[in-house]
Amino acid sequence: MRKIIVILFFSFLLYGCKATDKEIQPDTERYVKHENSDLANGLNLNSNGSYEYHSNTLNIRIQPVIKSKLKYWVSTIKVNNVSQVKSAFAGGSFSSKKEETSEIAKKNKAVFAVNGAGIQFRSRSTVIRDGKLFRSDFAPLEVRKNGKLFIGDGRRTAEDMLEQGALHTFDFGPELLINGKVPSFKNQDWFTTARAPRTAIGQKKPYEYIIITVDGRSSESSGMTFAELVKVFQSMGVTWAYNLDGGGSTTLYYLDNILNHPSDGKERQISDILYFTE
């Protein structure tokens, strides 16, 4: 009798613990299960469901998050030099051309890329890329030469931006966090509380960037509101955050693959990307 009890006890420990382990990580288990195993191995998919890339100059960690009717990716990118934070135009020039995010990324040897600001969608925005001025008007988000993000108030000229170290500018919006504070969205007609696919960038400290990519407009993921995006950034200690182009343009490229599910059912052709490289 005693032997039977001992056997039952150890059987419970063995199989009961395995069941519990699966129960506490349902999202990760579900995500890994649907990954192609060869693809997952090629992209360095860890046992916790995150993708990681490490080199002497570039470190990337992409953590998928799956909740009820919501799927998004939190990507943490650390670079040694701000020159590794890049932007590129479709067709290789500032024009009306459009290409898929993956096309532009591959041509520029990107390790990680997302859709940019839709420079042809906002035709009046200031466009500075690699310190060169292409169009002068208005742009709230700057990636500066010191590795920091900065969001202006719209009254600064392109010359002001360049003088103060703007390397790249992006104008889509809205701004989500300005120096740790949530801006007031009251009476701003373009601000919406609807859930949708989103692409947004934030920063904890110089040379470290947080990019959130949200799937939306599907039965699996309805997307996020701007307020929900803010909460995710705040939970990670981000002080500056800005919403880039989203909707059907939202695309997450990593090592020659698209990780998310663009809401159009395929990649949308866009005008520019934000990317990171060695």
pLDDT digits (tens, 9 = 90+) for 246-272: 999 999 999 999 999 999 999 999 999
CB 209 within 8 A of CB 242: no
**Is the per-residue pLDDT at 127 higher than 90?**
yes
φ and ψ at 187, to 5 degrees? 65, 15
The pLDDT value given to residue 16: 39
| Mean of pLDDT values over 48-71 | 96
Residue 134: name the closest of 123, 144, 145, 146 by CA.
123
Q: What is the DSSP letter of 173?
A: -
Place of tokens 């601000």: 191
Q: What is the tens place of the pLDDT at every residue in 89-125?
A: 999 999 999 999 999 999 999 999 999 998 877 677 8
Place of tokens 């998310």: 260
CB 77 within 8 A of CB 208: yes
Residue 144: name the closest of 93, 81, 58 by CA.
81
Residue 48: name the closest of 31, 69, 67, 70 by CA.
31
The pLDDT value given to residue 40: 54
- pTM here is 0.84
Euclidean distance between CA atoms 235 and 223, whole angstroms:
18
